Amino acid sequence: MKFSIPQKKAKFLSLGSNQGNRRENLIFALDEINKVALIKRQSSVYETPALLPTGAPSDWNRPFLNLAVEISTDRSAEDFLQIIQTIEKKRDRVKNKRWAPRPLDIDILLWDNVEINSSHLKIPHPEMNRRSFVLDPLKDLSAQFITAARRLRTHCPQLMGIVNVTPDSFSDGGEFFSYENFSRCLDLLVENCVDIIDIGAESTCPGATPLTSEQEWIRLKPFLEKLAPLKNDRKLFPLISLDTYHPETAKKAIPYGVNIINDVSGLNDPEMISVLKDSNLDYVLSHSLDIPANPENHIEGDPIDYLKIWLESKWDVLQRNNINADRIIFDPGIGFGKSSLQSQEIIKNMSKFRELPFRILVGHSRKSFFSTFTPAPPQERDIETIGTSMALLDQGVDILRVHDVKNHRKAIRGWLHARS
């Protein structure tokens, strides 16, 4: 596949905290940085095990919260280093043994094309390509870091929590179809450190009734109106993904703070290109054959080869329209135009996509292919989903779209600590 990605000329910082109120420490740092530079893009927050030397005290084993930012400033790297050190001191950072817990740790990773190798500053950061807690946030900002992040043993995924404001979803239809339930769901997702909230108003399961864009927007608008102020009022709020294949709906949703368009149709409507060109939204490019999904219709031949060819053709369209790889998330579309065995084959072979310079999302949660090896109804397939998620982590998947965020977060913590 032909997917060459140019190196991005940019200034990137890494921020971390594993002492005190970690989120408040990061928010403080972002506010201080924003006083002296423009924060152009900001990653999600990743929780990762502390990097520890052999024989470290047990009380040093405190998980970090990490994120990365791309900034714009006319200051030199040396001048900005002094600013960073001042910000760290304001948050009670004291000189201590290397790897000791710290309330705030800010590193300069890249500074455009500048190279520095002095006793107090090295750019590019010499350890960045060996640290998942640096590369995983960076891949949210630039496609040039994606394949390097996936090759590390402790590559950490983002969790996309599913919120269906629809009465007919296959596993949670009607569950969040009131604002009271919706609000409770949001609180639980934020409490369990979800990275992305995926909100949709149209079911695409077999037998569902398709909606017009107008019908979809009537359902969505009240929930987006409630969601937008929450996002504006809370720092480090999760990203908002809109699950729609209607370009008109996507356009209307942009002023409400949507970050991602999750298009199950995979650019079937060419007007979606216009939405992307006129915005800075990220885009989930998902493969499907039918909407709603038709279990009788599936792709012919090897599903991996088919998806690679399909993806290359879609990438050609995106490139011609100057949509860069930083904004693209590939979803193979489990259950959409695939038989149960094909869906399982794709899940087993996601590692064959790990060299792609796009983030990879898999939405396998509670899907119908589980029925081939469990009698459990959709609402009771979360354990099977988590087991499958653990296999996907080993294959370098970047985003897991799931219903049960709480137990996924617990399982991923255990997985990361066992491998670090």
**Is 327 known to be catalytic?**
no
- Beta-ladder partners of 283: 261, 328
- Give the pLDDT confidence score for residue 97 in this predicted structure: 79
Both structure tokens of 389? 């998620």
Residues 6+ apart with CB under 8 A from 292: 203, 204, 205, 206, 207, 208, 210
Catalytic residue among 22, 23, 91, 93: 93
**Is 366 known to be catalytic?**
no
Name the residue with tokens 């983030």. Answer: 359
Three-state DSSP class for 298? coil
CA 209, 212, 213, 218 dihedral sign is negative
**Inter-CA distances, 193 with 158, 176, 186, 203, Å:** 10, 19, 11, 25
DSSP per-residue codes, 41-72: EEPPPEEEPPP--TT--GGG--PEEEEEEEEE
Both structure tokens of 160? 């996309």
- Give the pLDDT confidence score for residue 255 in this predicted structure: 96
Catalytic residue among 22, 91, 107, 150: 107
Catalytic residue among 22, 102, 359, 366: 102
Catalytic residue among 22, 31, 74, 105: 105
- Give the pLDDT confidence score for residue 76 in this predicted structure: 97
Q: How far apart are CA 167 and CA 173, in angstroms?
A: 5
- Give the pLDDT confidence score for residue 389 in this predicted structure: 98
**Is 93 known to be catalytic?**
yes
- Give the pLDDT confidence score for residue 189 in this predicted structure: 94
**Nearest C-alpha neighbor of 311 from the set 269, 266, 271, 279:** 266
DSSP assignment letter at 294: -
pLDDT in 10s for each residue of the chain, 420 residues: 567 676 779 999 999 999 999 999 999 999 999 999 999 999 999 999 999 999 999 999 999 999 999 999 999 999 999 999 999 999 988 777 788 999 999 999 999 999 999 999 999 999 999 999 999 999 999 999 999 999 999 999 999 999 988 875 555 555 556 778 888 889 999 999 999 999 999 988 877 888 999 999 999 999 999 999 988 888 899 999 999 999 999 999 999 999 999 999 999 999 999 999 999 999 999 999 888 778 888 999 999 999 999 999 999 999 999 999 999 999 999 999 999 999 999 999 999 999 999 999 999 999 999 999 999 999 999 999 999 999 999 999 999 999 999 999 999 999 999 997
- Give the pLDDT confidence score for residue 368 in this predicted structure: 93
CA dihedral 15→18→22→27, nearest 10 degrees, is -20
**Is 398 known to be catalytic?**
no
